[in-house]
Structure 1
């Protein structure tokens, strides 16, 4: 998360409680989430504003997904994949035909 925070700059903060066993860490630029870091596997969701760091993360074997912003409903999947990935049944409220990175975060925390 430090690498991403350095790319954000001086207004970057990291929100992750390792001791509580949280699976997601967040990097914020001010009040805006600009990256979600999945701590159980090498996977990061980045906003387009941080697309430049994607190549650096990929070179470290960290898979990245770049989205326009965390609220944009631009993602799709199926229930079996997201449930297996989360390690538990996710809420049926999550519409898997059109969801955002924020929706994924809320469904899997």
Structure 2
């Protein structure tokens, strides 16, 4: 079943004024170290908007730099839920098309990236969202 997550993401974005880069990096570091085998993946100097935690090159956490928005694989949700100021969306498989976003919202957030690569705003995976908004 496809779930519309537009309101959940807007809710996270509404907290952007109290969010900062230091909090993002602190939490991302803590998460990557708290999960056995977790590897931090974030290219600060490329201007990436997402940090990720990987296990054996598979993403288990996607953490948005500009607001307290986190996508987390179901089996690792407890590691993220301990941070009460994070807006957490749980996924099973990063490539499973489980989500939808309002088309105009997604286009604005992705700076047009939502219109490339054949993405459909009504059937998105976490990986799709990440690719469209990473820069």
Fold-level similarity (TM above 0.5): yes
Q: Whole-Å Cα distance in 1 between the matches of residues 61 and 106 of structure 2?
A: 19
Question: Is 1:108 aligned with 2:108?
Answer: no
Give the total of aligned pairs: 105
Structure 1 regions of 5+ residues with no counterpart?
none
Question: Is 1:73 aligned with 2:100?
Answer: no
Per-residue CA distance 1:14-71 (angstroms, 9 max, x = gap): 11011221111111011210011110111110000111123212x1x11111011211
Structure 2 regions of 5+ residues with no counterpart?
1-27
Structure 1 stretches of 4+ moved >2 Å: 83-86
Q: Whole-Å Cα distance in 2 between the matches of residues 82 and 67 of structure 1?
A: 19
Q: Whole-Å Cα distance in 1 between the matches of residues 29 and 133 of structure 2?
A: 23
Partner of 2:114: 91
| TM-score using structure 2 length | 0.71
Query: Secondary structure of the equivalent of 1:2?
Result: helix
| TM-score using structure 1 length | 0.86
**Displacement of 1:13 after TM fit?**
0.7
Q: By percentage of residues, which structure has more helix?
A: 2
Q: Which fold has the larger relative contact order, with Cα–Cα distance below 8 Å and residues 6 or more apart in sequence?
A: 2
Over the residues paired in the alignment, what is the CA RMSD in angstroms?
1.4
